[in-house]
Amino acid sequence: MYRFLLTINAAKVLHIQKLIVVFLLFCSTVSCVRNNKCSRQSVAIARKDTFEKEIRHIYDPDSLLTLYDKSLSEGNMVKQMVLCGKYAKVMRDMSDFSSSIKYNLIGLDIAKELNDTMEMVRNYNSLGTNFRRLGAFAEAMGYHSTAMELIEMFSDSTSASALKNKAVTYNGMGNISLTMGYGNEAKKFFEQALSKEQLLGSHLGQAINYSNIGAIFHENNMYDSAMWYYNRSMQENVMAKSNIGISLCYESIGSVYEDLGRLDKAEEAYTKSYEAICDDKDMWHKMQSYISIGRINIKQKRFDKAKRFLDEALVVIRDMGSLELMADVDDMFYRYYKAIGNPEKALYFFEQSNTHKDSVSGEQEKNSFMEICISFEKLRNQRKEAILKEHNIQQRIRSRYITILSCILTALLLAVIILLVHLQKNEKRRADILNDMNNIKNKFFSIISHDLRNTAISINRSVKILADNSPNMSATDCKNFLNELSLTTDTQVELLESLLEWAKIETGKMEFCPAAYDIGQIFEMVEKQLYKLLKDKRISIKSNIADEVCVEADFNMISIVIRNILSNAIKFSYPDSVIDVVVTEIGGDKVLVEIKDYGIGMTEQDIADCFRLDRSVSIKGTAGEVGTGLGLVVCREMLGKHNSVLNITSQRGKGSVFSFTLNKSIKPQ
């Protein structure tokens, strides 16, 4: 069982997480339906409908607040609920979203106390519209989703009221999807909303959704289809006698003409849009009309008229606080000043427009939302009638128990998943470590069984040949034979030293003790150690090292690194050549070390294989010297202790450059 759990891959873990979330949502939904479906019923329908008719033609905010205060003194919660909804709508039409949201929240709280599901739905949808216009799309979609869940739970979900609220909810979701660029999803929502409005026979509702579907075709440059839907929407708006709807249709039709380059027709449509809404209190749509007129006049180079509309729009929109409209009007001013040749103001409004676009879903909305919630809590506490019925309290307790249980279950399952993932990662880490150890072991035995063995056999044979034939050999032949034997033993010693150094590093037995050292003195010491090799091939080292350049390094390790690189350079350099050593300070806190030879060089594949244990490079030098293939591996490991890397640039036949960096240090006193 343990091995089976460890084999669960990442895809299966993700699948398990999704199943858990779906399961918990299902459990919560079932519980909510069981506990709440039967109890969510509209209250005092007759009284509410009567009062709604009484205030139908009241749009003055002060008059509505006066009636609201009177309902508070009477303790009439039904009137309070209706007045909150009406006042919130009036404030939204005036683009006072803060006040609208406050009273939506108050109305929502009253609707919950009265168990009026449809009134809750209306408030959630209104909140969604407000937050969408503020640019807070995530919050807006959350409110619309909650509204849809309540409608589905409502005992009479096929009633006219439920159908209307479904249409409003689908429309809100569609508007959010369209604004965020999800055209296909938006079209599905609008078609759902349209079907509900057709069942209800609502001209205004159909007009809204025909227009929205037309906007999707418009977005996809399908102008004929867009124009058909806009004209269909216009017909329904005329039958509904909706000036706002008629204005919006002219706005949309003008936009199509504008995209088609028919600017005169576009201006005519925008002007009709403005005339239809000029006396209306819906400032949001009125400002959209102003911006469109400004834009079309800029394109037609009628700059005075454009600026007149844009100036008025800017003042109103600033008071509204809509980031979306601020971004639009700033963009129009940018185009205006660019067109009249004022680059400074054009740049200012360009930056302002981008700032507002970036802030549409930013912290400003979140802070505004928190302020609204705080204000709402203060207003709610002023109401005297706030006693909940006993069965509502019990429902909340049950819901709380379910929530706590769900959280505990989720936490336990998440803990199990995290444990499984952790175990799987540990298993992979152990497998990687074992693989590395196997590579080290294989390389170690390869060196012992091949390089050391062959060299030892070669020395043994040479000694036997010398012992058997020395009486018959001349002094010159003996000397040459001994020189070859010396080279072989030198290779053997070099191999053993590299092998021991590498083994110490891999087993962690080589201590790392950094201190401040003069890099020039280290090079001088290593050059003396390599004197015989340099003399035999008549190679000189040309150093370009500033006086007293100190580095933070482990003396033994850096000495080995420099010796290995210089030995490598000597081995592959031609006789009578030069090796350049350059040490320079870079960046104020680093020292760059470069060792350049002009020997046989390496290919890109040779460089890539230099640091692979299973493909270590062993190329014969210019005098037939044989390498071990371990020196550069040792250099890499030791430089790694110094948080440095060994860089190699080389070209076949032109030599190689080995470089690395060390931390600069202050010379010890």
Over residues 536-572, the pLDDT tens digits come to 899 999 999 988 899 999 998 898 899 889 988 999 9
- Is 624 domain-assigned? yes
- Is 107 domain-assigned? no
Position 35 scores a pLDDT of 42
- Is 520 domain-assigned? yes
The parent domain of residue 605 ranges over 509-664
pLDDT at 348 over 60: yes
Sign of CA dihedral 468, 472, 478, 480: negative
pLDDT at 657 over 90: yes
326 band by pLDDT with thresholds 50, 70 and 90: confident
Mean of the per-residue pLDDT values of the chain: 79
487 band by pLDDT with thresholds 50, 70 and 90: low
Q: Domain holding 652: CATH number?
A: 3.30.565.10
- Phi first, then psi: give them for residue 593, nearest 5 degrees: -110, 125
| Angle between helical axes of 343-358 and 323-339 (0-180°, round to 10) | 160
Specify whether the backbone of 241 is left (phi greater than 0), alpha (psi in -120 to 50) or beta: left
pLDDT tens-digit map of 499-548: 676 667 666 667 888 999 999 999 999 898 888 889 989 999 999 998 88
Tokens of 528: 């003396």
- Is 522 domain-assigned? yes
Position 629 scores a pLDDT of 66
pLDDT at 91 over 80: yes
pLDDT at 60 over 80: yes
28 band by pLDDT with thresholds 50, 70 and 90: very low
- Is 410 domain-assigned? no
Arithmetic mean of pLDDT, 2-27: 41
Amino acid at 60: D
Count of CB atoms within 10 A of residue 556's CB? 14
pLDDT at 153 over 80: no
Count structural domains, the chain: 1
pLDDT tens-digit map of 256-293: 998 999 989 988 898 888 888 777 777 777 888 888 88
Position 305 scores a pLDDT of 86
- Phi first, then psi: give them for residue 515, nearest 5 degrees: -155, 175
Specify whether the backbone of 587 is left (phi greater than 0), alpha (psi in -120 to 50) or beta: left
pLDDT tens-digit map of 408-419: 888 888 888 888
- Is 325 domain-assigned? no
